[in-house]
Amino acid sequence: MPLAPDDNQNEEEEKRVRHKRNYQVWGSEKQFFLFGGRLRVVKAGPMSIATFMAILLPAILFAIFDASWCWHNIHPSAVIIFYYCWLIGLSSFIKASTSDPGVIPRNIHITDDPYDLPEDYFNTISLPSGPEGDLKVDVRYCQTCHNWRMPRTFHCAKCDSCISIHDHHCKWLNNCVGERNYRFFFVFLLFSVIFCFYGGAMCYYRILQHDQHVRHIPMTVFNIVYLHMAMLYPLLLLIYHISTYAIKTYPFSLNSIIKNFVYGVGKPRGWSYVRPRDKYNRGDMRFTRFTSGKL
């Protein structure tokens, strides 16, 4: 018996949905995915492209103008170490800017009518915490994602998501820094400082060993200036993230400079709450977007 037109349409729709991945039904217009959901890109701005080019430039200039001299007059390992540190910095930047920062799925605590929230959902609620319940934890309801936000979870308007253990939205990464990509962000800062300082030191050593005037090696001078200027901002951020253990609002503080450093390098990523590359289950509300009528 042939199927009715509506049945054929429903069957085709079911087949189409069955082969979709979570990232393909992501209910946000402020981000998109590349390479089958492996890379997540926020549409907020192009500053991450400028940062990528700023990281790429010194490696190219050093390879053209200084690498050969350092290879033959210092040691081949000096050049290898420079590019090893540079590759770690570059790969950490890519991971920090394109990976999941700790996105909390939507509609965990959805009401009967998600378009009309009760008045209580617009207030901050204090819950008892601690072994004896003598501490208080403030939680708020996210009217965009429709969930009660965990402590240190904040909604980022640019990423259009709630981020677990949210540190800040970095415009240079064009991504939030949170629970799942903080390690990549920290390693990016660390190795950016290392390869900038190390490359600048080799160029400076070449100038000291050069018998003629520096006008004969202008690009070496340019590399020194560029590398030291490029090192300044990551260095300040790195010092801030290591040393600001006294600031209680800083989510990754362990009250020790050494502990902060070790934690920044070796921090586990944690679990992904959304898993963009998993197969989509029909009716999964985590990727549906509602707009509250009282916003």
What do you get for the CA distance between the two ends of the chain, in Å? 51
Taking only the tens place, the pLDDT of each residue in 253-280 is 666 777 777 777 777 777 888 888 878 8
Determine the number of helices (DSSP H) and then strands (DSSP E) in the chain.
Answer: 7, 11
Identify the pLDDT of residue 292: 52
Q: Looking at the predicted structure, is the pLDDT value of residue 199 above 90? A: yes
**Which position has the higher pLDDT, 249 or 24?**
24
Contact residues for 99 (Cβ-Cβ < 8 A; gap 6+): 39, 40, 175, 180, 181, 184
Statement: residue 139 has pLDDT above 70: yes
Q: Which residues pair with 136 in a beta bridge?
A: 128
What pLDDT was estimated at residue 59? 94
Least confident of 76-80, 138-142, 177-181, 251-255: 251-255
**pLDDT grade for 229, boundaries at 50, 70 and 90:** very high
- Are 236 and 197 a contacting pair, CB within 8 Å? no
Contact 27, 290 (CB under 8 A): no
Could you confirm whether 156 is annotated as catalytic?
Answer: no
Q: Could you give phi then psi for residue 45, rounded to 5 degrees?
A: -175, 165
More confident residue, 225 or 113: 225
Active-site choice (170, 176, 196, 203): 170
pTM over 0.85: no
Three-state SS annotation for 131-200: CCCCEEEEECEECCCCEECCCCCEEECCCCEEECCCCEEECCCCEEECCCCHHHHHHHHHHHHHHHHHHH
φ, ψ of residue 161 in degrees (nearest 5): -155, 155
pLDDT digits (tens, 9 = 90+) for 47-87: 889 999 999 999 999 999 999 999 999 999 999 999 999 99
> Residue 122 has what pLDDT?
78
Q: Is 50 exceeded by the pLDDT of residue 294?
A: no
* Mean pLDDT rounded to a whole number for the chain: 82
Residue 115 has pLDDT above 50, yes or no: yes
Tokens of 56: 């790429």
